[in-house]
Amino acid sequence: MGGPRDTAVAVLLRPDTERSLVIEVFGLSLPAFPVAVVAAIVLALAITAIAAFSFRMVGKRRSWARVLVKLIRVPFRMTVLIGALWLAVAGYLDVPEAWEATVGFVFRALFIGSATWLLCALLYYAEEITANKYRIDVRDNRVARRVRTQLRMLRRIGVVIIIICAIGTVLLSIPGAATVGASLFASAGLLSVVAGLAAQSTLANIFAGMQLAFNNALRVDDVVIVESEWGKIEEITLTYIVVHIWDDRRMVLPSTYFTTTPFQNWTRHNSELLGQIDFDLDWRVNPAAMRDELNRVVAQTDLWDGRAVVLQVTDAVGGFVRVRVLVTAQDAPTLFDLRCFVRENLIDWVNAENPDALPLNRVEVRQQPETPPVRPSSHSRKPARPVIEAPGLFSGDEGGKERAQHFTESITVQDWEDAPETLPAPR
């Protein structure tokens, strides 16, 4: 037979069927349950301290360890502590038999809850580590935004599955819950139909959110036009999508909106955009001089990305001349500022250099002449004015021709007789 220390260890590790109310430690008789609780707390602190020291040493050389410690520190400590206390209570707490199942259920539920918290934190860690490989602070970040959106959606789906499994496990651990659940399941035919109809819209939103996340039609930070509002996709969840409007409002739309309603996505392939500024001017406007002023203005700002700058007369009806200016920028906010900049400078130029182009409403009163007008002879006509050739949006320079090819290039049709032998012949 060993000494007092051996007796204490034996009692702690292998309690008798009849719970020991007294335990001997170094020759002293102490209550078993308080000693077991203290030992459980010390054991939990020792495990967490060893884990923290190990990750701290690794974190000096690896960033992933620092991120992991930051995310799982609290749930890991809670899980270890609750598990140790559960062992102490199960082995050394003497409670009436009627309360034994209740106490066990409480600790089981607490342990499942803390373990669920830990698993969710590990999912957050997996998302964070994977997302850090894809930078979004670069100009062309389409792939990074797509991957981050999908990772966020996968993490949320995983969290929902873990929570549902945890709740189911807790409910099934209630004494007699399995029998009650089986009887309810057997008699819930009509109830399940009603619940399914009630949850139809919710399930539709969930599947729509998953579809948007994985078909690459919408990503976080995409610039969109929805409900005649310009904004950026701020958050994509399983049931709704949050759009950050340009004036700092938030528009919350169900996921099914983006699968059933047309919307504009300005960053579907890239963030570069083409914007227009329209002027209704008088017929005496000088488009050539206005075009020169436009080229001078855009050359003096960093808002213009240098891809295209065009001035064209697109309409001349109703007593006005419609002058359309097209400029390009690297993204939507820059394009908005560039359009305002160009509009302001061209208005100032029209007032200062070409005031005859200001829009006017004319009223002309004529008197009937006493003698019919003399038709001028053909030799008195003015010489023809030279034709002004200016670069257009789809012509005039290499950039315009390249843009035109996207809309006018021919589609290659391959004849079956000239097709490779590996292709199957038509039936």
Q: Which domains does the chain have, with CATH numbers?
A: 4-133 (no CATH), 202-265 (2.30.30.60), 272-359 (3.30.70.100)
Look over the chain and give the mean of its residue pLDDT values, rounded to a whole number.
76
pLDDT at 290: 92
- Per-position b or e across 384-403, b if 16+ CB within 10 A of its CB: eeeeeeebbbbeeeebbeeb
* Cβ-proximal residues to 137 (8 Å cutoff; 6+ apart), any chain: none
- How does pLDDT run across 118-142, given as a tens digit for each residue? 999 999 888 888 887 777 666 666 6
Rounded distance, CA 399 to CA 406, Å? Answer: 11
Tokens, residue 421: 């032998």
Cα distances (Å, whole numbers) of residue 100 to 89, 92, 262? 10, 12, 60
Residue type, 36: A
Distance in angstroms (rounded) separating the CA atoms of residues 76 and 114 = 8
Partners of 12 in the β-ladder: none
How far apart CA 89 and CA 94 sit, in angstroms, is 8
Highest mean pLDDT among 18-27, 127-136, 157-166, 382-391: 157-166
Whole-model pTM over 0.75: no
